[in-house]
C-alpha cells in the first residue's frame, strides 16, 4: 500500500470514530446488581498520559494516532508510540493513586484497556455499566466513541449497540481526575483525589423493552405508591408488580411516557426502622424482563423542630463516615469494606450515618438497609464551587439526579444533602436553591438538608444562613475545642434556632493519633480527643432543638492537606478509629454516651 492510500485509510478510521461520538449520551439503569451481567472487573492495561497524547492530534477529542484505536506495535511496522498489550496492569475496581508511589499524587489523564469476549442474544440491548469513574470518563468500544460522563461518584451506563461484535472485543476508557474550578467538587477538598475506575465495571444485557427505572414508597396515609418505567415500550404495555410477603399482585399499563403507576393499601405492613429493618422482596416484570429488589417501607417527616420516623420523634445517634477503605486504603468499594465501616458504627450504637462528602458505593447503602442504619447521602458541592457557572450547576444537578435515582428505593436513606460548608453569599444560595427544587421534584418523600460551617461570635451561634429557609433539616459543623476555643469552653456556648427547624450537629471533633498519649490538654493525644467529646456532650444537653449527631469522623482517612510530620503524615486524624483499625479512647466515650441514649 502506498503512502497516500495509507493516510486515507487512517483518516477514514479516525473520522468514523469522531462521527460516532454523536452517541455520547449516558443513561442510568437502576438495580444493576439484581440483573444478570458479565463482570469486567480484574486486570486492565493502563497508559499514564500527563501530556494527553493519547487523544492523537488534539488534547481533548479522538485523533488519527489516538489510543482508543488500541493498535499494537510490531517491529518493522508502522510508527506507533503506544501499545496497551505491553503496558502495565491495574486492577479494576481500584485507583491508580494506590498502585505505586509514582502515581500517589498523580492528577491527569490515564487510559484503561481490556479485551473481552461477548456473544449477544437476539433481540437484546447491551450496556456497559460503570459504577464510578473519577472524575471524567470517555468510553470507546472497538474504536467507536460510545459515551462521556462527568462526576466521580455516581454510576452510569453506556449503550453499545453496533460497536460490540460477536466474539472478541475491546474497551478503552480514558479517565481524567484533574481538579478544575468548574467541576464538582472544585479545586480544593479535604480528601484524597483518587483517580480511576473506582467501582465495578460490567456488561448488562436486557430485552429490547426493559425496566430501566422503578420506585416504591410508603405514603403518610399508609398507602404504597410507585411506578415502573419501561424503556422501548409501546403505550398500553402490561407491567406486573409482585410482593409475595404482602400477598400483593398488581397490574398496570404504561402510558405514552413508558411509565406504569401503582398504588395500593397493604393489609399488614411491617415498617422499616433501625430496631426492625424489615425488607420486602419486590418483583417488577414486563414481557421478557424481570427486575427484583429488596425494599423497606417507612415514612420520614418533620414536625416543628422534631424529626419523625414512622410518625414518631427520633434522635439520630450517628457518625460521619468518609469513603476510605479500612486497612487497605483507597476508596471503600467491597462488601468487606462496607461491613467493617458500618459494623464499627453499630458497635457505637449508631442508628444513623452521615456518608460524606459524595455518594458512597452502593454496597454501603444496601447494607445500611439490612442493618437498620439511617443515612444522610450527599453530593460533592463543597467549599469553593463556581456558583455562577451554568456548567457547574448542570454537573451538580446531574450528580444529584444520579444519586437519587440510584438510591430512591433505599429505606435507610432519609436525608438528601445538597452541600457542605459553602459560603454565605447570594450566588451560592441561588445555586443550591435550584438543587433543592430539583431534589424535591425527583423525590418528594425524603428530607432535604445541607451542612453549614460554624459561625460563632461571643460563644453564641445563631443558625440564620439564608439557605436554611429552603431546607427541612439544618446540619451544623462546629469544632469548638479544636479550631476555636478549648474543649472545656464548650459547655459555655449557646445556640439559637430562629427558624425552629430540627438541627443535626453534622460535624464536631478533633484529631488524635492512635497510641499517642499525654495530658488531656495536649493536642493530638487520645486523651485530648476524649476530653473534647465529653465536653461536647455537656454542651448538647443545653440545645433543646438538637435532633442528631454525626461527629467527625469514624476512621482516619488520607488527605493531602494534613501534613504534620510524625502525627498526620497525609491523614486526617479526627477518626475514632485509625486507618489500621485501632480504636481510640474517644470511640469508647461516644459508645457509652450512645448506649445511654438508646430506647
Q: Which residue has the cell 427520633?
A: 314
Q: Which of 184, 207, 230 is at the close of a domain?
A: 207
Q: Starting from the edge strand earliest in sequence, which strands make up the sheet with 156-159, in order?
A: 37-39, 201-207, 124-130, 156-159
Contact 73, 139 (CB under 8 A): no
Q: Angle of helix 390-407 relative to helix 426-442, nearest 10 degrees?
A: 30
Whether pTM > 0.85 for this model: the answer is: yes
Share of the chain above pLDDT 90, in %: 92
Residue 462's domain is classified under what CATH number? 3.20.20.80
361-417, pLDDT tens digit by residue? 999 999 999 999 999 999 999 998 999 999 999 999 999 999 999 999 999 999 999
Q: Which of 245, 280, 297 is the last residue of a domain?
A: 297
Pair 56, 67 in one domain: yes
The backbone region for 232, taken as left when phi is positive above 0, alpha when psi lies in -120 to 50, beta otherwise, is left
**Same structural domain, 66 and 173:** yes
Number of domains in the chain: 3
Band of residue 24 on the pLDDT scale cut at 50, 70, 90: low
What residue numbers bound the domain in which 241 lies? 210-297
Nearest to 304 by CA among 295, 294, 313, 296: 313
Q: According to the 3-state scheme, what is the secondary structure of 247-309?
A: CEEEEEECCCCCEEEEEECCCCCCCCCCCCCCCEEEEEEECCEEEEEEECCCCEEEECCEEEE
Distance CA(197)–CA(546), nearest Å, equals 40
Average of per-residue pLDDT across 219-235:
97
The pLDDT, as a whole number, for residue 483 is 97
Domain match, 379 and 232 both: no
Instruction: Indicate whether 12 pLDDT > 60.
Output: no
Comparing CA positions, the residue from 137, 209, 200 lying closest to residue 173 is: 137
The residue written with cell numbers 422482596 in the block is: 281
Tens digits of residue pLDDT in 57-74 = 888 777 767 999 999 999
Identify the H or E element spanning 430. helix 426-442
Examine the pLDDT at 23 and tell me if it is beyond 50. no
Residues 153 and 214 in one domain: no
Q: Are residues 159 and 218 in the same domain?
A: no
Residue 19 clears pLDDT 60, i.e. is over it: no
The last residue of a domain, from among 244, 273, 297: 297
- Residue 146's nearest CA partner among 158, 134, 137, 156 is 158
Q: How far is CA 299 from CA 23, 269, 272, 412, 413, in A?
A: 40, 12, 9, 11, 11
**pLDDT tens-digit series, residues 453-498:** 988 999 999 999 999 999 999 999 999 999 999 999 999 999 999 9
pLDDT digits 0-9 by tens, 237-251: 999 999 999 999 999
Q: pLDDT for 527-555, tens place per residue?
A: 999 999 999 999 999 999 999 999 999 99
Q: State whether residue 431 is helix, strand or coil.
A: helix
Residue 520 neighbours by CB distance under 10 Å? 16
pLDDT at residue 281 tops 90 = yes
Q: Using the 8-state DSSP alphabet, how is residue 203 labeled?
A: E
pLDDT at 441: 98
CATH number for 293: 2.60.40.10
Query: Same structural domain for residues 268 and 336?
Result: no
Mean pLDDT, residues 139-162 taken together: 95
145 forms beta bridges with 140
Q: Scanning the structure block, which residue is given the C-alpha cell 459547655?
A: 491
Q: Are 582 and 592 in contact (CB under 8 A)?
A: no
Residues 421 and 549 in one domain: yes
pLDDT reading at 151 higher than 80 = yes
Reduce the DSSP state of residue 44 to 3 states and report it. Answer: strand
Residue showing cell 437484546: 124
| pLDDT of res. 97 | 97
**Residues 115, 241 share a domain:** no
Q: What is the pLDDT of residue 22?
A: 33
Map 147-196 to HEC letters: EEEECCCCCEEEECCCCCCCEEEEEEEEEECCCCCCCCCCCCCCCCCCCE
pLDDT for 64 equals 65
Determine how many CB atoms are found less than 10 A away from the CB of residue 269.
15
pLDDT score for 21: 36
Q: What DSSP character marks residue 568?
A: T
Residues 12 and 123 in one domain: yes
Summary mean pLDDT of the chain: 94
Q: What pLDDT, on the 0 to 100 scale, is given for residue 69?
A: 95
Question: 564-594, pLDDT tens digit by residue?
Answer: 999 999 999 999 999 999 999 999 999 999 9
Which pLDDT does position 16 carry in this prediction? 35
Nearest to 87 by CA among 115, 123, 128, 59: 115
**384 and 425 share a domain?**
yes
Residue 18 has pLDDT above 60, yes or no: no
Looking at the structure, do residues 269 and 402 belong to the same domain, yes or no? no
Residue 14 has pLDDT above 70, yes or no: no
Domain identity same for 89 and 218: no
CA distance 588 to 280: 35
- Each residue's pLDDT tens digit, 178-210: 999 999 999 999 999 999 999 999 999 999 999
Nearest CA to 532 out of 480, 595, 492, 593 is that of 480
The CATH number of the domain holding residue 170 is: 2.60.120.260
Amino acid at each position: 500500500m502506498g503512502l497516500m492510500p495509507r493516510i486515507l485509510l487512517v483518516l477514514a478510521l479516525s473520522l468514523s470514530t469522531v462521527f460516532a461520538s454523536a452517541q455520547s449520551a449516558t443513561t442510568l439503569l437502576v438495580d444493576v446488581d439484581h440483573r444478570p451481567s458479565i463482570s469486567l472487573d480484574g486486570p486492565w492495561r493502563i497508559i499514564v498520559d500527563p501530556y494527553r497524547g493519547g487523544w492523537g492530534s488534539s488534547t481533548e477529542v479522538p485523533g488519527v494516532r489516538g489510543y482508543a484505536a488500541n493498535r499494537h506495535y510490531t517491529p518493522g511496522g508502522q510508527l506507533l508510540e503506544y501499545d496497551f498489550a505491553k503496558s502495565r496492569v491495574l486492577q479494576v475496581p481500584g485507583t491508580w493513586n494506590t498502585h505505586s508511589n509514582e502515581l500517589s499524587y498523580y492528577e491527569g489523564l490515564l487510559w484503561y484497556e481490556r479485551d473481552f469476549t461477548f456473544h449477544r442474544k437476539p433481540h437484546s440491548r447491551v450496556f456497559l455499566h460503570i459504577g464510578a469513574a473519577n472524575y471524567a470518563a470517555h468510553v470507546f468500544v472497538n474504536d467507536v466513541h460510545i459515551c462521556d460522563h462527568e462526576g466521580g461518584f455516581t454510576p452510569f451506563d453506556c449503550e453499545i449497540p453496533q460497536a460490540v461484535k460477536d466474539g472478541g472485543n475491546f474497551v478503552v476508557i480514558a479517565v481524567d481526575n484533574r481538579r478544575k474550578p468548574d467541576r464538582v467538587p472544585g479545586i480544593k477538598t479535604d480528601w484524597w483525589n483518587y483517580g480511576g475506575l473506582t467501582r465495578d465495571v460490567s456488561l448488562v444485557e436486557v430485552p429490547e423493552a426493559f425496566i430501566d427505572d422503578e420506585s416504591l414508597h410508603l405514603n403518610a396515609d399508609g398507602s404504597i405508591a410507585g411506578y415502573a418505567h419501561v424503556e422501548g415500550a409501546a403505550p398500553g404495555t402490561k407491567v406486573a408488580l409482585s410482593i409475595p410477603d404482602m400477598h400483593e399482585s398488581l397490574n398496570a399499563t404504561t402510558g405514552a411516557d413508558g411509565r406504569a403507576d401503582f398504588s395500593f393499601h397493604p393489609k399488614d405492613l411491617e415498617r422499616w426502622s433501625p430496631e426492625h429493618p424489615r425488607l420486602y422482596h419486590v418483583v417488577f416484570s414486563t414481557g421478557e424482563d424481570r427486575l427484583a429488589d429488596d425494599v423497606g417501607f417507612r415514612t420520614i417527616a418533620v414536625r416543628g423542630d422534631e424529626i419523625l420516623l414512622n410518625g414518631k420523634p427520633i434522635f439520630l445517634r450517628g457518625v460521619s463516615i468518609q469513603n476510605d477503605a479500612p486497612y487497605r486504603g483507597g476508596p471503600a468499594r467491597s462488601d468487606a469494606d462496607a461491613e467493617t465501616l458500618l459494623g464499627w458504627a453499630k458497635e457505637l450504637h449508631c442508628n444513623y450515618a452521615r456518608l460524606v462528602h459524595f455518594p458512597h458505593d452502593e454496597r454501603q447503602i444496601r447494607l445500611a438497609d439490612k442493618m437498620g442504619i439511617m443515612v444522610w447521602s450527599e453530593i460533592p458541592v463543597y467549599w469553593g464551587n463556581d456558583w455562577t457557572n451554568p456548567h457547574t450547576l448542570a454537573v451538580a444537578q446531574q450528580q444529584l439526579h444520579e444519586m437519587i435515582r440510584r438510591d430512591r428505593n433505599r429505606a435507610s436513606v432519609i436525608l438528601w444533602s445538597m452541600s457542605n460548608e459553602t459560603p454565605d453569599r447570594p450566588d451560592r444560595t441561588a445555586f443550591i436553591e435550584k438543587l433543592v427544587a430539583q431534589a424535591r421534584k425527583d423525590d418528594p418523600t425524603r428530607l432535604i438538608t445541607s451542612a453549614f460551617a460554624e459561625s460563632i461570635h461571643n460563644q453564641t451561634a445563631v443558625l440564620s444562613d439564608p439557605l436554611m429557609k429552603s431546607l427541612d433539616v439544618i446540619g451544623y459543623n462546629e469544632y469548638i475545642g479544636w479550631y476555636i476555643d478549648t474543649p472545656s469552653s464548650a459547655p459555655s456556648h449557646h445556640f439559637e434556632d430562629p427558624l425552629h427547624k430540627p438541627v443535626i450537629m453534622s460535624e464536631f471533633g478533633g484529631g488524635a493519633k492512635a497510641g499517642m498519649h499525654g495530658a488531656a490538654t495536649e493536642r493530638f493525644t487520645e486523651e485530648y480527643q476524649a476530653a473534647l467529646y465529653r465536653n461536647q456532650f455537656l454542651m448538647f444537653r443545653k440545645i433543646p432543638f438538637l435532633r442528631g449527631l454525626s461527629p467527625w469522623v469514624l476512621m482516619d482517612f488520607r488527605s493531602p492537606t494534613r501534613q504534620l510530620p510524625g502525627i498526620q503524615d497525609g491523614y486526617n486524624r479526627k477518626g475514632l478509629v485509625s486507618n489500621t483499625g485501632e480504636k481510640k479512647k474517644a470511640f469508647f466515650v461516644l459508645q457509652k454516651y450512645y448506649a445511654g441514649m438508646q430506647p
